[in-house]
Copies of this chain bind each other. A is one copy, B any other.
Amino acid sequence: MIELKFRIYLEDTDAGGIVYHANYLRFMERARTELLRAAGLEQSATFTEDVSFVVHTMKLQFHSPARLDDIVIVTADVSATRGASFVVAQEVRAESGSVHCSAEVSVACIRLSDQKPRRIPEQLLNSLKQGNERPQ
């Protein structure tokens, strides 16, 4: 389970005075990157080792908007792992706990060379399982 905390800057907002909706995806990707890093993968390494991760599907719910100068917390929590993909539950929320945006993100492992699905490297898969999946 990863938690990042950062501030909302002008770049993140739109003329409605709130965070532009697509930017929550940028925030969530930052947390997924740290999730993979914590599991042993440098993002830049994905481009040299013929393993890459791409978002396959996303279900997004937008709740109350975040605004300029807000501090937000972005979480990423592996909720399921399969051989060639994993699912991440994510939230962008205020320090008060109120949720700005929640998502279920399915991430597929591919070979960078031909963009075809491939198995997640064993060690990485184990790290994703251990560090993140809750015992039943």
Contacts and interface: CB of A to CB of B under 8 A. Distances in A.
A interface, over-half SS: mixed
A52 interface: yes
A43 B115 contact: no
Nearest to A30: B9
This chain's copy number in the assembly: 4
Interface stretch (A57-65, A75-83, A87-95, A117-125): A57-65
Contact of A57 (B18, B52, B61, B64): B61
Contacts of A59: 57-60
A56 interface: yes
B11 A11 contact: no
Interface of A: 9-11, 13-18, 20-23, 25-26, 29-30, 33, 42-44, 47, 52, 54-62, 64-65, 67-69, 112, 115
Given A10-B20, A57-B60, A65-B115, 9 more contacts: A9-B33, A10-B29, A15-B44, A15-B68, A16-B47, A16-B54, A21-B29, A22-B23, A44-B68
11 contacts: A11-B26, A11-B29, A11-B30, A16-B112, A22-B22, A22-B23, A44-B68, A58-B58, A58-B59, A58-B60, A59-B60
